Structure 1
Amino acid sequence: MSRRAWSLIAALMVSIIYGVSFTIAKDVMPTYVKPYGFILLRVIGATILFWAVSFFGPKEKIQLNDFPRIIAAAFFGVALNMLTFFKGLNYTSPISASVIMVTTPIIVMILSAILIREKVKPRKVLGILIGLFGAGFLILYGRSIGNATNATWGNLLVFINAVSYAFYLIVVKKLMDKYNAFTFVKWIYTFGLLMVLPFGWSECQQIQWGIIPFDILWAIGFVIVFTTFLTYLFNLVSMRELKPTTVAVFIYLQPLIATLYAIVLGKDALTTVKIISAVLIFAGVYLVTQKVKTDS
């Protein structure tokens, strides 16, 4: 099998893992572990794994003037990103959360135009407006069955998470160009751990491990090992051979996977609002990412 084929499989695996994670994480919260306590568990576990793997990677030294960028990446990519997402998922449904996350490429386009002066064509502006309208429609009018106790607030928090992750992608770009990923990702998670510790410590202490069923323990382990650690490794494999625009396309599979998984388990249901929002978001993302066929 070619390296490109392996890269495509790796990108697909990332979407599958993220897609099912929306529902798996929802099973844990808030009955067994509260959102911020769950985040602290996730960051602690991932930090340990990234430090362990880094000992087998290249020996590079990070320059002191790059640490402010690492700290910013930790804030946007770990702290604000995870705190808003898990809290939002605690209030909304897996389908709503996954559809809103598809706006990330659109938000990246907006921030790139503002922060790094990337030229945005009229077609992309139209895509941005359509996609954001779809996300706003879902945030304002989306309602869900199951444990969606406050869908509007939860959807808004997930949207903030998408914006935060878009900032992270821009901030971390220069680090990826300068260092091997394993050189700096351990530091990103280390600083991220310090940032989420005050929020998650109290909820983490409240966890009653003795009464947690095995399937919930498995779900916690899945989020730590697969959703946090392995997805990053798979992304490294995919980005090695594929262009960013090609990798970004796979994020559009996440709502489909999340929807199918949640519906099969009877944990969510499709509504007219969700379908209309998804169509608008997909249309906007398509217009933003469409390119002349000269790349992979």
Structure 2
Amino acid sequence: MKTSVKVHAALFVVALIYAANYSISKDVMPRYMGPFGLVLLRIVGATLFFTVAHRLAAPHDRITGRADNLRSIACGVLGIGLNQLLFFSGLNLTSPINASLIQTIAPVVTVLASAVLLSEKLTLRRVLGVGIAGLGAASIILSRGPVVAGAPSELLGDIYILLNAMFFGIYLVIVMPLMRKYHPFTVLKRIFLVGAVLAVPTGWHQATTADYASFPPGIWVAVAYMVICVTIMAYLLNNWALKYASPSLLGAYIYLQPALAVLIAVSLGKDHLTWDRAGQGLLIFLGVFLVSRRAKPGQPANLPPLEPVQD
């Protein structure tokens, strides 16, 4: 299988995982556990997993040098600690529809940050791709009906999600040099350890005071899904893809999440598919294609090729 196919398959799985998470996490919080407690379980569980995985797969690989160590700390703070604390706090206060819509700002931040930090060219094709995909995502969400206007808590939740999306967009850019230089488990072990420094004191009270005995089997499955799939699998696949693809491509796949959320709802009998929604989904796929398409032969490439970068 070609590397490019593997990358797109990995990013599609990540989008599917995140799309399901919008509804699954709302089943757990705040009734069974607060958002900070969930973040603690996710980050601590992932930290333990990647620590063991690193010891087994790459025990002698270490992040070295002052610049790389500072970069790993920034990735842990922005991409793990603040990212997850803000996302779950925001989703706890606002609706999944609001959260999904605001999340589409992340690819825009990623493209702009790539242009500033990685000197990627901000071409008309890429801007057009971001715009088309964003239009498709926004039209799916807005067509589901008006958003209930605003209590202050919903507004605060929207602000949290906006900050989360911005931090995640920047994280995708600054983590790429580490993923192309070190083993993925080396990087993930470090950044989750940094994230745990923020998550443990913040979520300790909610995690230790939750009434675990009252959790029905479905809630335990939801918690396991958030730890194993949303945290470990999604971060691993995303960071693996950064060894071969541009962070802008990873950002563009965020636009798939609302489309996949509709498909999940249809499969569960909670929604129905219309021709309008099919057209909206095509807009999203077209936007992702424009952002990820390679330059024609003889023209300078605007995206890194889907091939390993040599150290």
The alignment status of 1:79 with 2:81, answered yes or no, reads yes
Displacement of 1:79 after TM fit?
1.2
Displacement of 1:90 after TM fit?
0.8
The aligned amino acid for 1:223 is M
SS in 1 for 2:63: coil
What is the alpha-carbon root mean square deviation over aligned residues?
A: 3.8
**Percent identity among equivalent residues?**
36
The alignment status of 1:235 with 2:238, answered yes or no, reads yes
TM-score normalised to structure 1 length: 0.79
- 1:18 maps to which residue? 18
- For 1:174-213, list aligned pairs within 5 A: 174-213=177-216
Distance 1:87 1:267, change over 3 A: farther
TM-score normalised to structure 2 length: 0.76
Task: Give the whole-Å Cα distance in 2 for the aligned partners of 1:162 and 1:292.
Answer: 28
The aligned amino acid for 1:103 is I
1:161-190 deviations in Å (ceiling 9; x for gaps)? 111012212221221232111112111111
- For 1:142-221, list aligned pairs within 5 A: 144=147, 150-221=153-224
Would you say the 8 A contact 1:98–1:258 is kept in 2? no
- 2:254 maps to which residue? 251
Would you say the 8 A contact 2:110–2:170 is kept in 1? yes
Distance 1:57 1:81, change over 3 A: same
SS in 1 for 2:122: coil
Task: Give the whole-Å Cα distance in 2 for the aligned partners of 1:86 and 1:267.
Answer: 23
Distance 1:222 1:184, change over 3 A: same
The alignment status of 1:224 with 2:240, answered yes or no, reads no
Task: Give the whole-Å Cα distance in 2 for the aligned partners of 1:244 and 1:171.
Answer: 9
Task: Give the whole-Å Cα distance in 2 for the aligned partners of 1:292 and 1:79.
Answer: 36
Distance 1:169 1:119, change over 3 A: same
Displacement of 1:13 after TM fit?
1.4
Distance 1:217 1:290, change over 3 A: same
Task: Give the whole-Å Cα distance in 2 for the aligned partners of 1:212 and 1:248.
Answer: 35
Would you say the 8 A contact 1:46–1:229 is kept in 2? yes
Displacement of 1:246 after TM fit?
4.9
- 2:72 maps to which residue? 70
What stretches of structure 1 of length at least 5 have no aligned partner?
A: 271-276
Would you say the 8 A contact 2:137–2:284 is kept in 1? yes
Task: Give the whole-Å Cα distance in 1 for the aligned partners of 2:236 and 2:69.
Answer: 22
Task: Give the whole-Å Cα distance in 2 for the aligned partners of 1:292 and 1:6.
Answer: 20
Out of 60-69 and 25-34, give the one that drifted further: 60-69
Would you say the 8 A contact 1:92–1:154 is kept in 2? yes
1:233-287 deviations in Å (ceiling 9; x for gaps)? 33355455656555554332211112333566688999xxxxxx99999998777
Out of 158-167 and 241-250, give the one that drifted further: 241-250
Would you say the 8 A contact 2:86–2:163 is kept in 1? yes
Out of 176-185 and 79-88, give the one that drifted further: 176-185
- 2:55 maps to which residue? 55
Q: How many residue pairs end up in the alignment?
A: 289
Distance 1:96 1:279, change over 3 A: farther
Out of 163-172 and 219-228, give the one that drifted further: 163-172
Distance 1:16 1:128, change over 3 A: closer
The aligned amino acid for 2:95 is S
Displacement of 1:127 after TM fit?
7.0
Distance 1:261 1:181, change over 3 A: same
The aligned amino acid for 1:40 is L
SS in 2 for 1:55: helix
Distance 1:119 1:240, change over 3 A: closer
Higher relative contact order (Cα pairs below 8 Å, separated by 6+ residues): 1
